[in-house]
Amino acid sequence: MSMWPSAKIAETAAGQYASTAQDLARGKRSEIDHLNGLIVRRGEALGVATPANRLLHAIVKLLESK
């Protein structure tokens, strides 16, 4: 199996930043509540653990509060 598609994506995305990172860099509130926060809330409602999303949500909220 070729790694070409992954390598092509990596080349294309080099130097680009996620919208959440851009928001934090600008001192703006991010859309984290609508992204990872939604996953956490839905997981809670369904009884499904979402530890990675919970951690990402908490870290971004902490960074937003500074």
pTM listed for this prediction = 0.75
For the chain, the structural domain boundaries read 19-64
At 39, give phi and psi (nearest 5°). Answer: -60, -40
Give the pLDDT of residue 13. Answer: 79
Would you list the DSSP string of 33-66? TTTHHHHHHHHHHHT---HHHHHHHHHHHHHHT-
Mean pLDDT of the chain: 90
Fold of 19-64: N-(1-d-carboxylethyl)-l-norvaline Dehydrogenase; domain 2 (1.10.1040)
**Which tens digit of pLDDT belongs to each residue from 39-65?**
999 999 999 999 999 999 999 999 999
**Which tens digit of pLDDT belongs to each residue from 6-30?**
777 778 878 888 999 999 999 999 9
Rounded to whole angstroms, the Cα distance separating 37 from 47 reads: 15
